[in-house]
């Protein structure tokens, strides 16, 4: 649907995908495009993704574990 560079190596500020409108205003309102601190940009980006898509990203798994790219109902 949409994706954006969370201030990785270069900051293109491009929100890509077929529905960039899903997060564009939240990204801009959070000040991410002008943020100079990479950690703050990542934190704010994750807050937006969690809120907008109703996700609960477990910090320990995100930082130290493995997360599936997708979960399919009926498969383990």
Q: Is the pTM of this model over 0.75?
A: no
pLDDT band at 76 (very low <50, low <70, confident <90, very high): low
10-54, pLDDT tens digit by residue?
555 677 778 878 888 888 898 888 888 888 888 888 888 888 888
What burial class does residue 40 get, using C-beta atoms within 10 Å of its C-beta: 0-12 exposed, 13-18 middle, 19+ buried? middle
pLDDT score of 5: 58
């Amino acid at each position: 649907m949409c994706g954006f560079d969370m201030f990785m190596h270069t900051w293109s500020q491009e929100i890509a995908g077929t529905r960039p409108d899903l997060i564009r205003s939240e990204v801009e309102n959070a000040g991410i495009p002008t943020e100079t601190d990479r950690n703050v940009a990542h934190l704010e980006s994750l807050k937006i993704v969690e809120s907008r898509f109703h996700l609960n990203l477990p910090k320990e798994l995100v930082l130290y574990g493995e997360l599936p790219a997708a979960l399919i109902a009926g498969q383990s």
